[in-house]
Structure 1
Amino acid sequence: MPPTESKESITDAFDKLKKGRESFVPSFSPREVGYVMSVSAGIVRVSGLQAAGYKELLKFPKDLFGIAYNLDETEIGVILLGEDSLLNVGDEVERTGRVLDIPVGEALIGRVVDPLGKPLDDKGHIGFSKRLPIQRPAPAIMDRAEVTVPLQTGLKIVDAMIPIGRGQRELILGDRQTGKTAIAIDTILNQHDKNVICVYCAISQRSSSVAKVIAQLHEKGAMHYTLVVVAEGNSSPGLKYIAPYAATSIAEYFMERGQDVLIVYDDLTHHARAYRELSLLLRRPPGREAFPGDIFYIHSKLLERATHLSEELGGGSLTALPIIETEAQNISDYIPTNLISINDGQLFLSPKLFEMGVLPAIDIGKSVSRVGGKAQLPVFRSITGTLKLAYSQFEELESFARFGTRLDDDTRKKIIHGQRIREGLKQAEFHPMSVPEQILILLALTSGLFDSIPLQRMLESEQALLMSAKELPRALVGRLYSDKKLNEADRQSILEIAAEVLSSFKEEFEPKKDIR
């Protein structure tokens, strides 16, 4: 054989070997496996996974998962997402190479799921269209738009004096059993036929409390546009920790499709306590009230995801109503002050008002909305401008009247007017009101039409006035929802209807005797 032919054959053989090597696909996939060193309440310590990344999802036996949280030299501290009683020392742990995500999609509407996306309502399998990481960066400043559209809660006191806009974060705080959840549920119920998707996230709540909320949502027909994410009180602290992030990722799926979304976190006090428990078990240094130093960060990165997206990104919005619990009305505690500084306002519920039967028990003096005023319907601004001032003056003067102080006629009139305002702002639970109904009552209050009606007949007269809201002309109702203030002709039309209805409830009485 000539030398050139031998050389060519050797080259061809090398080319074939090279192509074969490049096209070779191994029939096995490499696994990086570690072992469980110790198991405690919600925390697992693992060794042997040297290449594991921060917050990587790790797989345990019996279909359990965990999040790699502490990356030490010789071991990894893992937050377990499930029952620690199912694991034993020496069990294998496997890397997944991905972070924790949750399935999202339209099929979730009307369902009850856990923070991992597993159904809890016995309605069968959920068909998901996509998966999103539970920890996602908040939209950039340039991707956001102004909050300009109101989110009507259906509560007179909120929509009139502490309005909320779509894309806002409004904190609800107060002592135990003061009606915090009721305000959030009323807001969800009021989104019927308003093209708003609602997400209710229950964190460490009693099973009976969650079941009661779900039953109310079903009874009022709200589950057609609502989904519920539940981490019950007996769930692992890891599930309680990830619950609000998972719920937010589900909500963001709809927001990024151009829809308006409302999310309720009930409540972040339990979320903070779950994270404190995990941090102490992971041997992270405790700070104020034993909370870790990054407790502010975990809440801020959650609530910063609530926003109104720009038109280029679809114009969707995510409105957040986080709930927290105070102790003895102390809003200067560590967690309340953190969350007040993160949010765009707060609704403070007073146990004193609750005991007096003033429901919802919102303390107007300690409640504020830093954004919603710009998104409030102009008709509310044109009517309720003096309402908050008149009510604040009444609260100051009321204390003098209780001590039998001699009052002049002008002061007595202010107290009588304030008493009617307080009665008029009361509202039954789970009965949100439409804009025309609210405008009828609020305009009658600010105009003093209720001042000559005895307090014991206020509820009766208000119900009669609500019935007359159905008689308002359709064109007038349309203007109430417009971007223009209430004109004088419409104001007079509404006042005439209100005066005619309330005339039958007026009685002659001595104002001085009516002061309480």
Structure 2
Amino acid sequence: MFKTPSDYRFGLRLSERGCVAGIGDGIVWVRGLPSAELDELIGFDDGSTGLVFQLGKDMLGAILLSQTHDLTAGMSAQHIGRKLEVGVGEVLLGRVIDPLGKPLDGLPAADYRHYAPLEAAAPSILERDFVNEPLYTGCKIVDALIPIGKGQRQLIIGDDGLGKSSLALDAVINQRGRDVLCVMVIIGQTRSSIAGVIETLRQTGALEHTVVVVAEANALPGFRYLAPFSGCAIAEHWMRMGRDTLIVYDDLTRHAQSYRELSLLLQRPPGREAYPGDIFYLHSRLLERSTVLSISSGGGSMTALPIIETRQGELSAYIPTNLISITDGQIYFDSKLFAAGMLPAIDIGRSVSRIGGKAQHAAIKAASARIRLDYLQFLEMELFARFGTRLESGVEEKLRRGRILREVLKQDRLEPLPEQAHLGWLLAYSEGLLTDLAPTVVNATLHELLQSLVESSLSLNSPKPQWLAYLREQLMVLT
């Protein structure tokens, strides 16, 4: 307690000592410590640590953060005197860590100079600014029809195995060279799938601007609960420093299940689907920390892409409806589109971006103005055309254009496109330059066209006639 004998001062000293009443499933019950606070760290005589998570009349419940084999009932517990923090800063770029900041990549521990609390108040209204800059994911459908702005919270929702994580991974890869720092929070997944994500980031060069926070499927529920708050603290530190950040929560379904597990272990009253009554507050206090700050507050931004899983496409389930009400829009993945080979399997009709259009570049916004409506009309007409009725020539032409558009919107995973390519295909389609192509060759032709476009000197601010002249010239060569 005293560094040197001269530090000692004679006097009466009082300290609280608690006693471990029970241990199990990553939870420890402690009697005593009447002045303990929520989210306070407590220590045990064997060196184990816990996080106060439940305050009762006679006992408190704590999440075990570290545990030795010597921790037993009857052992004394005491206050540590601080809240839980995680190391932050650019030393984390390219690293894989657990929710407490410990390395999982086999490298030495990072030399942290700054720490940030996992739980922090969201920025106030006066600190925030309007979303006014686009964040490009590289996906044709998203960047053109469901745009995302820096500071937005855009939900990615759908059944398991439809490509939700692939879209988020593409978005992270597409931030290479854009001065956007990324945090990927992986919750409750198997070690093999986590290794695949990390290897993909490494091969594409995206790991250099990314931090991966991992809570594996076999981790204690407390670690899975803390993972998104740890990743948020890391991204929020950069946002407060004026940097643009992107954070992916993959996924919040498992996070909610971990919180439910903890709550049941701590004997909290269950509510709907056995979730505790504050499940809405759990995710709202997390996602409200994502925003764009005003210039006076640093001018940084944190864009959030939370992923949520549905069952049989049921959007009205408890957790999905909570997240839809918290976020600024959703990207919905449909199993029928996936089975039909429409990849990415994004349902444009059920997907929406409530504020991203305000941050969309004027040229892309103008070129995509009618495409969403045209595609939805095509889907409706195609449904009626299946009955075999005789169609007018105008309807036949709209069906043909719709089929071409459907082929144009297809995109392979791990192939994000720059914004120039988005404007190129939008103009080529809306001006009818692809009408004469057969749907079977549209993708191959468009791929070569966009490759040449990326290497050209055209930019989003180039005049539209210059764009059209280049596109016509290239299409003549390709066809």
Q: Same fold (TM over 0.5)?
A: yes
The 5-angstrom pairing of residues 236-315 of structure 1 reads 236-315=220-299
8 Å Cα contact 1:453-1:505 kept in structure 2: no
Instruction: Name whichever of 176-185 and 440-449 sits farther off.
Output: 440-449
Structure 1 Cα separation of the partners of residues 346 and 70 of structure 2? 46
Residue 159 of structure 1 corresponds to which residue in structure 2?
A: 143
Deviation of 1:496 (Å): 2.6
Residue 178 of structure 2 corresponds to which residue in structure 1?
A: 194
The 5-angstrom pairing of residues 108-507 of structure 1 reads 108-470=92-454, 472-473=456-457, 476-477=458-459, 479=461, 490-503=463-476
Among residues 30, 50, 59, which one is paired with 1:66 in the alignment?
A: 50
Deviation of 1:294 (Å): 0.1
Residue 100 of structure 1 corresponds to which residue in structure 2?
A: 84
Structure 2 Cα separation of the partners of residues 75 and 145 of structure 1? 44
Give 2:456's aligned amino acid: L
Report the aligned-residue RMSD.
1.9
Scaled by the length of structure 1, the TM-score of the pair is 0.88
Structure 1 Cα separation of the partners of residues 270 and 68 of structure 2? 24
- The percent of aligned pairs where both chains have the same amino acid is 47
Distance change >3 Å, CA 83–CA 346, structure 1 → 2: farther
8 Å Cα contact 1:241-1:271 kept in structure 2: yes
Structure 1 Cα separation of the partners of residues 45 and 393 of structure 2? 78
Please list the CA deviations of residues 407-443 of structure 1 after superposition, one character each: whole Å capped at 9, or x if unmatched: 1111111111111111101111011111111111111
8 Å Cα contact 1:42-1:84 kept in structure 2: no
8 Å Cα contact 2:174-2:416 kept in structure 1: yes
Structure 1 Cα separation of the partners of residues 81 and 276 of structure 2? 28
Residue 36 of structure 1 corresponds to which residue in structure 2?
A: 20
Alignment gaps of 5+ in structure 2: 1-6
8 Å Cα contact 2:48-2:68 kept in structure 1: no
Aligned length: 474
In the alignment, structure 1 residue 55 sits paired with structure 2 residue 39: yes
Alignment gaps of 5+ in structure 1: 1-22, 481-489, 507-516
Structure 2 Cα separation of the partners of residues 340 and 313 of structure 1? 28
8 Å Cα contact 2:17-2:33 kept in structure 1: yes
Structure 1 Cα separation of the partners of residues 478 and 11 of structure 2? 86
Distance change >3 Å, CA 348–CA 26, structure 1 → 2: farther
8 Å Cα contact 1:40-1:84 kept in structure 2: no
Instruction: Name whichever of 46-55 and 138-147 sits farther off.
Output: 46-55
Distance change >3 Å, CA 471–CA 260, structure 1 → 2: closer
Q: Which runs of 4+ in 1 moved over 6 A?
A: 27-30
Secondary structure at 2:143 match in 1: helix
Give 2:461's aligned amino acid: R
Distance change >3 Å, CA 148–CA 229, structure 1 → 2: same
Secondary structure at 2:228 match in 1: helix
Structure with the higher helix share, 1 or 2: 1
Structure 2 Cα separation of the partners of residues 27 and 437 of structure 1? 74
8 Å Cα contact 2:270-2:276 kept in structure 1: yes
Secondary structure at 1:167 match in 2: coil
Residue 87 of structure 1 corresponds to which residue in structure 2?
A: 71
Deviation of 1:77 (Å): 1.2
Distance change >3 Å, CA 220–CA 62, structure 1 → 2: farther
Larger Rg: 1
Deviation of 1:82 (Å): 4.5
Secondary structure at 1:357 match in 2: coil
Distance change >3 Å, CA 43–CA 410, structure 1 → 2: same
8 Å Cα contact 2:187-2:251 kept in structure 1: yes
